[in-house]
Chains A and B, each alone.
Chain A
Amino acid sequence: MDSEITLQVDGSERTLTVDTRTTVLDALRDRLGVTSPKKGCDHGQCGACTVLLDGRRANSCLTLAVAHDGAEVITAEGLADVVPDGHLHPVQQAFLEQDGFQCGYCTPGQICSAAGMIEEAAAGHPSTATDPAAEGGISLTDDEIRERMSGNLCRCGAYVNIVAAVHQAAETAASLRKGLPDPAEAAVPDSPTAASMPAHPEDRP
C-alpha cells in the first residue's frame, strides 16, 4: 500500500512515495539515497540509525515513514549544514580529533545521538546517572555521557574516545550558547585530514 509523503531531509524538502511498511531509515537509504544513517540491527537495539527527528534523537528504523509525513529529519550528513564554509559540526570535529570511531559504521548515529543528547542535558533532562536530588541543569560528567550514549553500540570499542569527543563537543556547545568563541577552534591539529578528503579517499588529494 503506497502513500505519498514529504520529509524535510537535511534542509531539503523531499516528496516521495513509500510503502506503508517503509521505515524512515529505509526511506532515507533506499528511496532517497541518503545513507548517512546506518542499519545495524533494524530493531532499535544498536542506535546506528539515530537521526534528529523533529529536533530530537530517534531510532529511524522503528519509525514508519508514513507516520512522519511532514517531519524534519537531520542526519549526520546534514548536521554540518548549520556550520558555515563547509566545516564540520563541532560534534563531528570532536569525533575526528578524539578518534571517536574506528570502522565508522556506528558513527553517524553516535554523532546525531551526541548532538541530541547535549541539547537534552542542557534542557535539564535527567538520566540514571543524575543525582535525583539535584535541581536545575545537568553537568555532563563522564558517567552522564556514558549513560546517555549507551543507546549507540560501537563494536570496535571506541567508547573511551567517544566520551572524550562528547566532552569536547559539549564544551563547544556551552561556549556557543554563551556567545563565546569555540574553545576547540584554537586547537585544530596539523593534519591533512579535513582539507584533503572531499570524496572517496582514492581521489585524494
Chain B
Amino acid sequence: MIPFDYRRAEDAASAVALVSARPDAAFLAGGTNLVDRMKLGIASPTLLVDVSRLPLDTVDVLDDGRVRIGTNVRNADLAANAHIRRRYPALSAALLSGASGQLRNLATTGGNLLQRTRCVYFQDPTTPCNKREPGSGCSAVDGYTRYHAILGASGDCVATHPSDMAVALAALDAAVVVLGPAGERVIPVSDFHRLPGNEPHRDTVLEHGELITAVELPPAPARSAYRKVRDRASYAFALVSVAAALELEDDAANPPVIRDVRIALGGVAHKPWRALQAEAALRGAEATEENFRAAADAELAAAEPLRENGFKIPMVRNTLAAVLRELAGIPVPDAGAAGTNHPEGHAGPGNTGWEELDS
C-alpha cells in the first residue's frame, strides 16, 4: 500500500471537488472493500476523501410513497429499518445475506454498490486481469470460474458483481442519486453497473469524482423476496441469487395470474442481471411451476457458461422457480425419482488421467 493523504469532507460538494481535482483520489466510506483492495495492492489512491461522517445517513419515506436512502446508511441499519423490512423484504433479505454482522455495521449503501468483483485473478496482482490492468488479458476465462458470469460477459472479462443488495435494488427498480462536479443526476440501478465489453475496468457509469448521495426506491411492490445460493450456509458470496417483485391479479385464483413481475439475478453477470425475457414471459401468465421454469429458460437461452460454471443454468432456473413459487404461494413440487440412483446425477471425479490409462 502506497502512502496517501487523508481528508475528511466537510460536505458533499467539497468532497466531490476534492476527488474531482485529483485523478488518483478516492472516496472513503465504510472502507470494507476499498481498504481490502488497497492492502492487496489492487487499489492505490494517493488521496482518500472521507465521506463517512457526512449526514447522509437517514431513511426517509417520501409523501409519494418513494423511499430515499442516504448513502451513509449502514447495511445493518437499512436491513433493520422497519419500513424496509415490512415493505421491501427483498432488500432487507439481500442485505442480511451479505457479508457478516460486523461488516454490515461498517458497510454503507453507496459503498455496497461500488464494491468490486471478488474474481480471484482480479484480486491477485501477480496474474493478468483486464479489469485491474487493461490489456493484460483475462486469466479467468480459461481458469477457475466457479463464481463467474454466464450472461453478458465478454472475452475480456467474465467477472461477476458481488453485491446482494444491488440485485434486490434492480428488482425493485431503484435509482441511484449521484452528485458530480456538474450537479446531481439520477441513474436507474439497472443502468448503473456496466457489462464488461472491452472496457472491463469500468464497473459503473460513474465518472471520476461523482459521489453517490442516495438511493431511491419507488413505492413498494405487493410482494418481494430474495434468495441466495452459496457454497456455505453464511458469510459467502453468491453462486447465484434471485430477487423478485410480484403483483398478482387476484390472490384467490388458482392458479393466480401474474399482473407484473420484476426479476433480477445475482452471481451470473458483471452487473445485477435484470431478467427482462423472463419478466416478459410471465407478465399476464398463470403463476405455475411450468411457467416459472419456462420463463427462466427464456432468460437463460442466452447463457454462455464457462468450463466450470454450467451448473448455474439449472441453479438459476430452480432458484427462480422457488422464489416465484414462494411469492405466489404455489406448493413445492415432488423432487421425484425416489429410490433410485439418480440417473442424471453428478459424475465425478473426471479428468483424473485414469481413464486415459485404462483406454
Q: Is the CB of A128 within 8 A of B102?
A: no
Q: Is the CB of B105 within 8 A of A43?
A: no
Interface size class of A (residues with CB under 8 A): 35 or more
Interface size class of B (residues with CB under 8 A): 35 or more
B4 within 8 A of A: yes
Q: Is the CB of B6 within 8 A of A1?
A: yes
B52, B80, B97, B102, most chain A CB atoms within 10 A:
B102
How far does the alpha carbon of A59 sit from the alpha carbon of B3 in the complex, in Å?
A: 22
How far does the alpha carbon of A47 sit from the alpha carbon of B103 in the complex, in Å?
A: 9
B150 within 8 A of A: no
Interfacial chain A residues near B92, Cβ < 8 Å: 126, 132
A44 within 8 A of B: yes
Q: Is the CB of A150 within 8 A of B233?
A: yes
Q: Is the CB of A43 within 8 A of B93?
A: no
How far does the alpha carbon of A56 sit from the alpha carbon of B5 in the complex, in Å?
A: 27
Interfacial chain A residues near B38, Cβ < 8 Å: 21
Interfacial chain B residues near A50, Cβ < 8 Å: 102
Q: Is the CB of A63 within 8 A of B35?
A: yes
Interfacial chain B residues near A64, Cβ < 8 Å: 6, 28, 31, 35, 48
Contact of B50 among A23, A42, A67, A117 (CB under 8 A): A67
A97 within 8 A of B: no
The A-contacting residues of B in range 203-240, CB under 8 angstroms, are 233-235
Given A62-B32, A150-B234: A127 in contact with B101 (beta carbons within 8 A): yes
A3 within 8 A of B: yes
A2: nearest residue on chain B (CB-CB)?
Answer: B3
How far does the alpha carbon of A23 sit from the alpha carbon of B100 in the complex, in Å?
A: 19
Q: Is the CB of A132 within 8 A of B89?
A: yes
How far does the alpha carbon of A20 sit from the alpha carbon of B80 in the complex, in Å?
A: 32
Given A20-B6, A150-B100: A62 in contact with B36 (beta carbons within 8 A): yes
Question: Using an 8 Å CB-CB cutoff, how does the interface string of B58-80 with A read, 1 for contact, 0 for none?
Answer: 00000000000000000010011
Q: Is the CB of B80 within 8 A of A44?
A: no
Q: Is the CB of B32 within 8 A of A20?
A: no
* 5 A-B pairs whose Cβ atoms sit less than 8 Å apart in the complex: A21-B1, A44-B36, A116-B105, A151-B101, A151-B102
Residues of A participating in the B interface, judged by any CB pair closer than 8 Å = 1, 3, 19-21, 23, 42-44, 47, 50, 53, 56-59, 62-64, 66-67, 113, 116-117, 120, 123-128, 132, 146-153
Residues of B participating in the A interface, judged by any CB pair closer than 8 Å = 1, 3-6, 8, 28, 30-32, 35-36, 38-40, 48, 50, 52, 76, 79-80, 85, 89, 92-93, 96-97, 99-103, 105-106, 233-235
Known: A44-B99, A44-B103. 14 other contacts (CB 8 A): A19-B3, A43-B36, A50-B102, A56-B76, A57-B105, A58-B102, A58-B106, A59-B106, A63-B35, A64-B6, A124-B80, A132-B92, A146-B234, A151-B102
